[in-house]
Amino acid sequence: SDIAQSPTQNETAGPYIILKTLGSGAFSHVKLAVHARDGIRVAIKMLEKPTISSSASAAATTNMLSEQARNEASLLDSLNHPNIVRLLNTFETETHSCLVLEYVPNSDLYELITNHPQSLTPQFVRRIFRELCSAVGYLHARNIAHRDLKIENILVDSEAGVKLTDFGLAQQFDPAIPLTTRCGSEEYAAPELIQALPYDGRKIDVWALGIILFTLLTNEMPFTHRPGERPRRMFHRIARGDYHFPETVPGKRAISDQARDLVKKMLTTNPQKRISIEAVLKHPYLTGETVEKGHPP
């Protein structure tokens, strides 16, 4: 292999040899790496450590970042679910806090939808979504909100199925006390987040799941910035719950009434009336064995 041929040229991190970049975000890079001795492949999420600075604001940012890495690691460490990515280890380098995660081959849902939309058959979509909701149900039962549910953060292994990842914004909460920190991506943000109201972390997760199900069914986002329009137009549509299923989706069968009904219940603007994850898991779209519209019996 490449490793055997050029051992000195490989970048390392702790006991691992870095092979390539799997993805990157604002404050992190995720690398495919292999343990130098046992040869086991892992994904290492490397979170930049703050650089020393005399400025007070830089120091504040600094503490927040390392605390974020700690929060992500300790939350992940407390979880044990087949559809949530496993934390194997953590270590620090001079420049980074590193989370060693089980490596999920294949890709995230963003990649799948963008590059292999034909693989998202109604049966596969239902399976993916059921597994994703199972993971989120597990979190909510433990009073943990993920707060960054989106297709980039859902890894899909063709055999093992869904592995939910990126607990960078996840938060354990007291159900009696609403959360106030604004977070997540705009296109997935629930109306109460857009309106800067205190919120129930579970309900914003359910809204984001509604966005994800719509996207899996149609290969497009229900709310998105349209070219040339002011950014606030999209926020108005979100606040009104103003979304529409396309008439037809190229290469796809008609969307079932059950799927539409579930999306509607998840994309309910009033968080008090929005469906809970427990009820989502009991919805006929996920429990029913009925064939999708367009399939011959």
Known catalytic residues are 148
- The residue from 108, 166, 200, 205 that contacts Mg ion (CB under 5 A) is 166
Torsions phi, psi for 7 (to 5 deg):
-65, -30
Closest CB to ligand ADP among 54 and 80?
Answer: 80
Question: Is there a contact between 131 and 280 (Cβ–Cβ < 8 Å)?
Answer: no
State phi, psi for 291 to the nearest 5 degrees: -75, 150
Gap between the Cα atoms of 74 and 71, Å rounded: 5
Write out the DSSP string of 64-82: HHHHHHHHHHHHHHT---T
Among positions 43, 132, 162, 209, the unique one binding ligand ADP when judged by CB under 6 A: 43
Distance of closest approach, residue 152 Cβ to Mg ion, in angstroms: 5
Q: How many CB atoms lie within 10 A of CB 91?
A: 14
> Is 31 annotated as belonging to a binding site?
no
- Using CB under 6 A as the binding rule, whether residue 168 contacts ligand ADP is answered as yes
Question: Which C-beta is closer to ligand ADP: that of 159 or that of 229?
Answer: 159
Does residue 153 belong to the site contacting Mg ion (CB under 5 A)?
A: yes
Q: How far apart are CA 239 and CA 233, in angstroms?
A: 10
CB-nearer residue toward Mg ion: 107 or 153: 153
CB-nearest residue to ligand ADP: 25
Q: Look at residue 150 and give the partner it binds from ligand ADP, Mg ion, none, a contact being a CB closer than 5 to 8 Å depending on partner kind.
A: none
- Give least dist CB 4 to ligand ADP, A: 24
**CA 34 → CA 24, 103, 152, 267, distances in Å?**
18, 10, 23, 42
Binding annotation for ATP: 45
Site for ligand ADP, rule CB under 6 A: 22-23, 25, 28, 30, 43, 45, 85, 101-104, 108, 152-153, 155, 165-166, 168
